[in-house]
Chains A and B, each alone.
Chain A
Amino acid sequence: MAMTDIAQAGHGHHGKPQGLARWLFATNHKDIGSLYLWFSFCMFLSGGVLALCIRAELFRPGLQFFQPELFNQFTTLHGLIMVFGAIMPAFTGMANWMLPLMIGAPDMAFARMNNWSFWLLPPAAALLMLSFIVPGGAAAAGWTLYAPLSTQMGMGMDMTIFAIHIMGLSSIMGSINIIVTILNLRAPGMSLMKMPMFAWASLITAFLIIAVMPVLAGVVTMVLTDRHFGTHFFNAAGGGDPILYQHIFWFFGHPEVYIMALPAFGIVSQVIPAFARKPLFGYASMVYATSSIGVLSFMVWAHHMFVTGMPAAAQLFFMYATMLIAVPTGVKVFNWIATMWEGSMSFETPMLFAVGFILLFTIGGLSGVTLSVAAVDVQLHGSYYVVAHFHYVLVAGALFSLFAAIYYWFPKMTGRLYSERLGKLHFWWSLLWFNVTFFPMHFLGLAGMPRRIPDYALQFTEFNQIASVGAFMFGLGQLIFLFNMLRSLRHGAPAPQLPWDGANTLEWRIPTPAPYHSFVEAPQLEVKENGVVVRLSGGRHEE
């Protein structure tokens, strides 16, 4: 059976393959992780350019640069590209790179499937990009692709649906790999209740992906058959119901929020203890909090639908369930702060991004609790307050945690040190301009400015101008990051094996840069909670 050789690929060949073949036929988890990270960074820049187009149009009221149809395509593709092209692949890439090193596995469980998971992504991204130039342009129904808008548009929508199928398949395969690797390939001594929080977060995220990406694939398939094959799932005239689309979409959509947040929690739970030089406070409660967030995330979807005419009893249920999910999240924030409490902290770039994450993610979480109140949501639904809320969660949450992860593990990945000066500049620059961009959006939403419009009433002008200036400066700041990475890859000072004296998980016990084939033989481990290595023997690496 073909699956047998999938399982056994990646072993038996040693030494790095050279040239294009190394990447095209990559089966090494580090190579595939790098591919994921570079791909998601390209997507981050593409989605960012779309965001800047949006902000340029919104600098002044009236229509400046783009017609409303094109503007709608920008908002839609910005969302889709950032969610499915940038954030999710970036976390999968991080997991690919670091998980085997952190739990003492030789590689990911299914090396050849891993290759497929990655190489499905560029065609999907190409479909999304090319949809701009087909007749009718790209999908313009918002990233949620609500019916009946999405059942009406041109072939750009079909390309988007197909792209979602491909990206969904990719993420499901990536998740299967992560689950099997974590459950079956941990080194002796690395027990589940001792392994690093990043592994826990990746594990639960992978389960969420397997549970909900097929639901998304299903619902966009229904849109596709409504469009072309005469079904009427979402067409009121044919006995269907557009509200049904929203229910199925958000059954996927809310767990998706945690798919983009849990890995961030995992990363921060590694970085904070390393720079506070204290063990993670409340490790077991972190594990339970992460799991209960995973379970609860399936029971809150209709908080996105308070204005669809739900009965009051249902509104109350989803309102209280949503508030309830803030409790385990609050436990996490408490634990991170308690970890820092009386720690001997130092503020290198990864720590700065992690602390920035806690601060800004908490703001995003609180505006989320505000929105969970059904009576308030009726006012704020579809306004810029919502835009402000989810950008605090996704930019200052997911993105900042990814920056923390890149800076934290950069020395281990590349064997070189990044420029700390540029890293700190990148952080403070991002922190400042992020807030300049998104904080005014709270006010805009409270004052009644709707999202997804190219034009607005005059009284919204000042806050929009502030947000636009902030967005362009924030975008500019990301070039500092790119420059720092590119320069440090070539010219960075050689990194020691342990660049952070407080870091004590398994990946810091292997040479720097990480050998091409690490843990060819599993080590014997004695570990404490959060993957802190107490004793290590054996474990062989090969270049």
Chain B
Amino acid sequence: MAAPLASANLALLRRLTLAALLMFAFAWGLIPLYRVICEATGLNRVVSADGLPKEQAGLSARPVSLVLDATTEAGLPWQVRPLTRLVAGRTGDFIQLEYEITNNSNRRVVGQAIPRYLPAEAAAHVRKLECFCFSQQAFSPGETRRFPVVLVIDKALPAGVDSVTLGYTVYEVPSGQEGRGS
């Protein structure tokens, strides 16, 4: 092969290798990018305070029932339960409820609760003002604590939805990840 051609080939080889390496880096760059996009659009903002709904003129308050639930990730030695399973309230009003968490193990455990809602279209209308899910919770061995949860279901809740389920899944925060994530 003629020398100029061989060096042209090598130059192209280098550029293509560089492109492949950059794409490998790009895959890792997607992690912070994903966080930034979720942050900017509020898509994944499930564990921060929502703030009160704006005054919704023309919408009237109506009765709504709230069903409460909680599950723990397999292996998390906690008992998490709502003190009442069913709360009757009205849209636009403050609704206060309480959860009790017990650490059944003899070690210190840090947990993080993630809320979810059924039906899914209710999610945007449940505004949590106070919740134990806003931060990681550290429990010493055998400790029991009660947490108040304060929320407002705004009046724009779609017609036809008159019962909302709020369920928490509680995960153990691996050691080394404490204080991160949320």
Point out residues on A near B: beta carbons under 8 Å. Answer: 3-4, 7-8, 11, 106, 109-110, 172, 175-176, 179-180, 183-185, 210-219, 222, 230, 232-233, 235-241, 244, 247-248, 251, 309, 311
Contacts and interface: CB of A to CB of B under 8 A. Distances in A.
A180 B13 contact: yes
A230 B28 contact: no
B13 A3 contact: yes
B35 to A, nearest CB: 9
6 contacts: A4-B10, A176-B16, A212-B23, A219-B27, A239-B182, A244-B34
B28 A218 contact: yes
B112 interface: yes
A176 B13 contact: yes
A7 B10 CA distance: 7
B17 interface: yes
A184 B5 contact: yes
A241 B44 contact: yes
Interface residues of B, number: 37
Interface in B1-47: 1, 5-6, 8-10, 12-13, 16-17, 19-21, 23-24, 26-28, 30-31, 34, 41, 43-44
Contacts of A211: 19, 23
Contacts of A8: 1, 6
Contact of B30 (A184, A236, A237, A247): A247
Nearest to A311: B43
Interface of B: 1, 5-6, 8-10, 12-13, 16-17, 19-21, 23-24, 26-28, 30-31, 34, 41, 43-44, 73, 112, 114, 120, 171-174, 176-177, 180-182
A239 B182 CA distance: 7
Nearest to A230: B176
A239 B174 CA distance: 10
Given A218-B24, A237-B112, A248-B27, A4 B6 contact: yes
A212 B26 CA distance: 10
Contacts of B176: 230
A213 B26 CA distance: 12
Contacts of B34: 241, 244, 247
Contacts of A216: 27
A249 to B, nearest CB: 10
A233 B181 CA distance: 11
Given A176-B16, A230-B176, A7 B181 contact: no
B73 A214 contact: no
B12 A237 contact: no
Tell me what chain A mostly uses at the interface: helix, strand, loop, or mixed.
helix
Tell me what chain B mostly uses at the interface: helix, strand, loop, or mixed.
helix
Nearest to B177: A238
B24 A214 contact: yes
Contact of A239 (B17, B23, B43, B177): B177
A215 B112 contact: no
A110 B7 CA distance: 12
A542 to B, nearest CB: 15
B173 A7 contact: no
Given A3-B10, A215-B23, A238-B173, 12 more contacts: A4-B10, A106-B1, A172-B20, A180-B13, A210-B19, A212-B23, A217-B24, A237-B172, A239-B180, A241-B44, A247-B30, A251-B30
Contacts of A4: 6, 10
Contacts of A185: 5
A447 B21 CA distance: 45
Contacts of A251: 27, 30
A244 B31 contact: yes
Contacts of A212: 23
A106 B5 CA distance: 13
A179 B12 contact: yes
A203 B182 CA distance: 45
A390 to B, nearest CB: 24
Contacts of A213: 20
Contacts of B9: 7, 109-110, 180, 184
A215 B13 CA distance: 19
Nearest to B171: A237
A236 B10 contact: no
B14 to A, nearest CB: 8
Contacts of B43: 311
Given A172-B20, A215-B23, A233-B31, A238 B181 contact: yes
